[in-house]
Amino acid sequence: MALLEIKNLAIQFGGLRAVDDFDLTIEKGELYGLIGPNGAGKTTVFNLLTGEYKPNEGVIRLDGKDITGKSTIEINREGIARTFQNIRLFKQLSVLDNVKIGLHNQYPVSTIANVFRLPAYFETEKKMNEKAMELLRVFDLDKEADTLSSNLPYGKQRKLEIARAMATQPKLLLLDEPAAGMNPNETQELMDNIRFIREHFGLTILLIEHDMKLVSGICEKLTVLNFGRILTQGETKEVLQDPEVIKAYLGE
């Protein structure tokens, strides 16, 4: 059974069909890319997958379960987490606390234990700190655990957002332009991080990206969107050699 199955997905804003007749199947463990020109509908697809938008048509199934139209919180609990084009961190909190926010559903503690600081509270805090540090080490952020997230360099803020998303223990991780604004060295580090978390944590990853070096370097399959509709999809090498993709996406 595929991890993600999307059939005939569509959404309309006024007279604009932003996404139309969108189909996608992603197998467990795949690293899949969604590309296309600006305004093609890529982020809209992510917003549909995470419940920020409700589709007018179509079905979304995660691990065989229909999640179409569910709320963002429900979808996250079912196993989808994401990052955003514009970084969304809790900037008044430390690096460590940003990741711990993503862990709260996995480490519940009773209100009484929390209020009165009973032993269960401290045991839970210890477990959360250990897990958060494990995730921060993946992205070489553990030495900055006590730093305010707003004081991190831009590239590290992007990595922290991925670490926080992973803290929810998703089945499917959505990365919306994770390399945006990064220099070549940061992009290479990010590619290594993405490969590692897929292999080490067994994650299935769907990413939107404009950096073709990153896309061709890590994505096994691609879907190309143009004007809200699928232009083509398939193995990465074949898709990137498609004349229609070169014309519509690469502008040649």
Distance (Å, whole) CA 107 – CA 104: 5
Q: What is the reported pTM?
A: 0.94
> Average of pLDDT values for 230-234?
95
Length of the chain: 252
Q: What is the pLDDT of residues 146-178, one digit of tens each?
A: 999 999 999 999 999 999 999 999 999 999 999
**Exposure string (b/e) for 61-89, b if CB count within 10 Å is 16 or more?**
bbbeeebbebeeeebbebbbbbbbeebeb
> Residue 32: beta bridge partners?
206, 221
pLDDT category at 252 given cuts 50, 70, 90 is very low
Architecture of domain 1-79+170-252: 3-Layer(aba) Sandwich (3.40)
Beta carbons within 10 angstroms of residue 222's beta carbon: 24
- Domain parsing of the chain, residue ranges: 1-79+170-252, 91-163
| 200 CB-contact burial (10 Å; exposed 0-12 / middle 13-18 / buried 19+) | exposed
